[in-house]
A = this chain, B = another copy of it.
Amino acid sequence: MKALEEKILKEGTVLPGNVLKVGSFLNQQMDSDFIMEIGKEIARLYEGTGVTRILTIESSGIALAVAAGIAMHVPTVFAKKHRSANMPKAVYTAPVYSFTHHETYEIAVAREYLPAGEKVLVVDDFLANGNAVRGLMQIINEAGAELVGCAIAIEKGFQGAGDQLRKEGVRIDSLAIIDAMTDESVTFRAQ
C-alpha cells in the first residue's frame, strides 16, 4: 500500500532496538481517515473469502481491526492481555512472549465470542517475531474456527517471522514490508 509506505517514510522514526515508531498516525495518535483507508484496503484484499469475523489483540490492533470490520461488515473481536473483572470465565488463552517488554503475557478471548466454524481474519498493526499471530492462531485452532489469513499494516520483514508463516501455508498480507531499516533509511520489499 503505497500510501502507508509514504506515511512511514514521512512520519515514522527508527528508535534503538529495531523499534519503528509510528505513533503519530497508527497508534496512540491515529489519522482516522487513513485508518479507514487501511480498513478498506484489507476489505479489498479479502473480498470473496467469506470472512465472518475479525480477531486482533488489544490495544494497538483495535483501531485497524474495527476499520476493517466496518469495511467488511463483520464483527470484530479483540483478545485481552490481562483478564478483567468483566471477562467471562470461559476463555481460550495462549501465552505470547513480547520482545518489546521482555515478558510472557497471556492473551484471552471469551469462548462465546469465537464460535466454532467461524472464518477468521487476524488483523494487527505490526508483525515482527510473529508471537502475537501465533498466539491468536492457537486460540483460533482451539476454538475450532478457521484462520483465513492475517492482514498486517507493517511487517518487519528482516525478522523473518512473516516469511516463516508463509512457508507454513499461512496467508499473510502485509500492507508494507520493511526489509531493512537504519536511523537513516527504511527499505521496503517490492510487492
Contacts and interface: CB of A to CB of B under 8 A. Distances in A.
Given A30-B75, A32-B69, A62-B62, A113 B23 contact: yes
Please report whether the interface of chain A is mostly helix, strand, loop or mixed according to DSSP.
mixed
A28 B78 contact: yes
Interface string A124-165: 000000000000000000000000000000000000000000
A106 interface: no
A54 B32 CA distance: 10
B76 A100 contact: no
Interface stretch (A1-9, A83-91, A166-174, A183-191): A83-91
A84 B66 contact: no
Interface string A4-37: 0000000000010101010110011111110110
A73 interface: yes
A21 B112 CA distance: 13
13 contacts: A27-B86, A28-B77, A28-B87, A29-B76, A30-B76, A32-B76, A33-B73, A58-B58, A59-B78, A62-B63, A62-B66, A63-B63, A84-B100
Interface of A: 15, 17, 19, 21, 23-24, 27-33, 35-36, 54, 58-59, 62-63, 66-67, 69-70, 72-78, 80, 84-88, 100-101, 109-110, 112-113
